[in-house]
Amino acid sequence: MSAATVTRVLNGSPSVREVTRARVQQVIDAHGYAPSSVAQDLGSGNTKTLGIILPSIRNPYYAALVSAADDEARRSGYSIWLYQLPREGELSAQLIENLIARRLSGAFFIGGFSDVDRPDLRELLDRLGKYMPIVAICPPRPDLGFICMYNDLSGAARQAARHLFLLGNERIAMIGGARNVIESGARAVAFLSELEALGLPPPPEYGHLGGGTMEDGMREIHRMMTVLPPAERPTALLAYNDLVALGAMHQLRQMGLRIPEDVAIIGCDNQFFCPYTAPPLTSIDMQAEEHARSAIRELLSASENHAATIVRAATLIIRESCGAHLGMRGRAPRHENREAAADD
């Protein structure tokens, strides 16, 4: 029983006698043996493993991407190697080496809240791109030599802005994110251009966005609702993501303000909890599942990196936090109420 025969039995080669096969199989079963994919990987030069690089799996939007990606990869016999990005400054060269050393079959990069200008991430992507195909969830940039998937927000942003406007909102603020950051920059631009088209550009006092967590949402809305004079406070919010929206809603409630009567709010990502907030959160669906599955398929079929962009339309999912179910009537008693309640 040479090693080659065992290989043949394992791979179901037809040129093995039935007696031999049975004998080998018996030993395999007795030992619960499975051939080392480490050795297979080394021999074949294919690890059948895809890396997913993201800021934090704690963000449910990323978790949804990873979940779908894992499922899709496994269907083709590939598996997922997880890599949470450390903060800037902690992404040592050593960690990048580690990523290259793994000889992954491909990398799915979910930058999200990562600064465009983070030089460490650029170095990471540049170096990685020489070794494996990359697909990233990020707005297209001419200098990126791999596939970028992103959402065309223009339709949804227009719908969201007009929706809020038609419901009587004339002071609409954007909240969360940061303009110099890949993804939130794109979202900000989309929202901003629509607000300007309506003649409702957010005044500078609304601030320059700021973060992607619940705490960031709380802080920002608290600032606007206390520092600004009542007549200048926003009556509607476009949030960078649903987490920020969640924080903002919480803060508004704590201040005794009603949603959507006093402040309407629209989130982004359409995360799993959106239908379950009080009121249910109107949000923009970013097609996480489709992005993830198609990213994996691209990685599996790609032989070399090539610049390309794959666009999916984002769609506004209307629930109650934007005030749609109240119509214009919901607006009437708002101002007095809001100003009285929030003036602390």
Stretch that binds DNA, among 41-49, 158-166, 179-187, 328-336 (CB under 7 A): 41-49
Work out whether 3 is an interface residue with DNA (CB under 7 A). yes
* # of chain residues touching a second copy (CB under 8 A): 52
What's the rounded Cα separation, in Å, for the pair 270 and 260?
Answer: 18
Give the largest Cα separation in the chain, rounded.
89
Burial 105-124 (b: 16+ CB within 10 A, else e): bbbbbbbbbbbbebebbeeb
Rounded distance, CA 175 to CA 242, Å? 11
Q: Nearest approach, Cβ of 80 to DNA (angstroms)?
A: 21
Residue 11 binds DNA (CB under 7 A): yes
Nearest residue (CB) to a second copy, 17 versus 130:
130
- In the set 4, 19, 30, 101, which binds a second copy (CB under 8 A)? 101
Does 16 interact with DNA (rule: CB under 7 A)?
yes
Q: How far is CA 184 from each of CA 105, 129, 211, rounded to the nearest angstrom? A: 29, 24, 9
Interacting residue with DNA among 35, 86, 230, 333 (CB under 7 A): 35
Q: Which of 25, 26, 27, 40 touches DNA (CB under 7 A)?
A: 40
Closest CA to 245 of 87, 253, 344: 253
The Cα 250–Cα 95 span in angstroms is 38
Judge if the upstream peptide bond of residue 260 is cis by omega within 30 degrees of 0.
yes
The answer to whether the beta carbons of residues 258 and 243 sit under 8 Å apart is no
* Closest CB 43 distance from DNA, rounded Å: 4
Site for a second copy in 51-80 (CB under 8 A): 56-58, 60, 63-64, 66-67, 70-71, 74, 77, 79-80
Residue showing tokens 């506004």: 316
Q: Is 2 in the site for DNA (CB under 7 A)?
A: yes
CB of 41 to a second copy, least distance (A): 5
Q: Element (H or E) spanning 242, and its range?
A: helix 242-254
φ and ψ of 282, to 5 deg: -65, 135
Binding residues (CB under 7 A) for DNA: these are 1-8, 10-11, 14-17, 19-21, 35-36, 38-40, 42-45
Using CB under 8 A as the criterion, which residues of the chain lie in contact with a second copy when the complex forms? 32, 34-42, 47, 49, 56-58, 60, 63-64, 66-67, 70-71, 74, 77, 79-84, 95, 97-98, 100-103, 127, 130, 214, 246-247, 249-250, 253, 272-273, 275-278, 280
